[in-house]
Structure 1
Amino acid sequence: MDNEISVVDAKERSRYEAVDSAGNLMGFVDYKLYPEVITFLHAETIPEFRGRGVAGRIAVKSLEDARDAGLRVKPACPFYQEFLAEHPEYEDLTKRKSE
């Protein structure tokens, strides 16, 4: 089913991965984790899964996890830059803690 998308933090590979109910990789975002910052480097949706909201699901999960961990987000990836510009509810994640 198209709606069955699970997003997991594959810490051993430093990336978030979206998989379908059969375990097929649908997309991912590579990241670099620092003590107080997570930098999202490159997001990609596997071609046959494009247009299903995979990248958005990965972004939401990774940004919510960053918020829960108290991390600041640095969006080095163009997709994350655009996603954050379109979703002001995550604006606080890109601000420095002193701002």
Structure 2
Amino acid sequence: MQFTVPDVPERARFEARDESGAVAGVVTYQLTGTIIVYTHTEVDPAYEGKGVGSTLARAVMDDARSKRRTVVPVCPFLSGWLGKHPEYDNIVARSTRKVK
């Protein structure tokens, strides 16, 4: 199954949509200047286990990189995903404590 991930700025979120246009999952964010805080990732239960979360994570991180933004990963899912994808370390703001 293929998903597209458009930014929906009027709702401050990215949406993963399937071929029919149904929303399979979202990542919400807060944007201030060049800092983007990813606050929450949610996948519709009907799409769990189909790679929606990873598709969303890669899409939002690639978008941030292309727009030269600094990412603050408040969302536990995204934070965990980033732990397995060091290729994004150069755009992620890290602290000495982990947000749970």
TM-score, with length taken from structure 2: 0.90
- Inter-partner Cα distance in structure 2 for 1:83 and 1:4: 20
3-state DSSP of counterpart to 1:5: coil
Q: 1:51 aligns with which of 49, 67, 70?
A: 49
Q: After TM superposition, which residue ranges in structure 1, 4 or more long, deviate above 2 angstroms?
A: none
Which of the two has greater strand per residue? 1
**Partner residue in 1 for 2:78:** 80
How many residues end up aligned between the 2 structures? 94
**Partner residue in 1 for 2:63:** 65
**Aligned Cα root-mean-square deviation (Å):** 1.1
3-state DSSP of counterpart to 1:31: strand
Structure 1 alignment gaps of length 5 or more: none
Task: Give % identity.
Answer: 37
Structure 2 alignment gaps of length 5 or more: 95-100
**Partner residue in 2 for 1:23:** 21
- Inter-partner Cα distance in structure 1 for 2:28 and 2:93: 21
Displacement of 1:95: 4.2
- Inter-partner Cα distance in structure 1 for 2:93 and 2:79: 13
3-state DSSP of counterpart to 1:52: coil
Displacement of 1:94: 1.0
**Partner residue in 2 for 1:92:** 90
